[in-house]
Amino acid sequence: MVVTGFIDREEELRVLGSAYASRPCLVVIYGRRRVGKTRLILK
């Protein structure tokens, strides 16, 4: 399996980082399969 880096995900990482740093909240991540949702969450 080839692992690649994120491309143009800086905004998403910033928003998730901000959500995790603030008060408790629910973040929903959705999208087509195999677009990197799990890797985005784990990053």
- DSSP assigned state of 33: T
pLDDT at 6: 64
pTM for the full predicted model: 0.56
For residues 37 and 29, the answer to whether their CB atoms sit within 8 Å is yes
pLDDT at 16: 84
Whether the per-residue pLDDT at 1 is higher than 80: the answer is no
pLDDT at 7: 72
pLDDT digits (tens, 9 = 90+) for 11-34: 888 888 888 888 888 888 888 898
Cα gap 21→8, rounded to integer Å: 22
Instruction: Using CB atoms within 10 Å of the CB of residue 22, give its burial: 0 to 12 exposed, 13 to 18 middle, 19+ buried.
Output: exposed
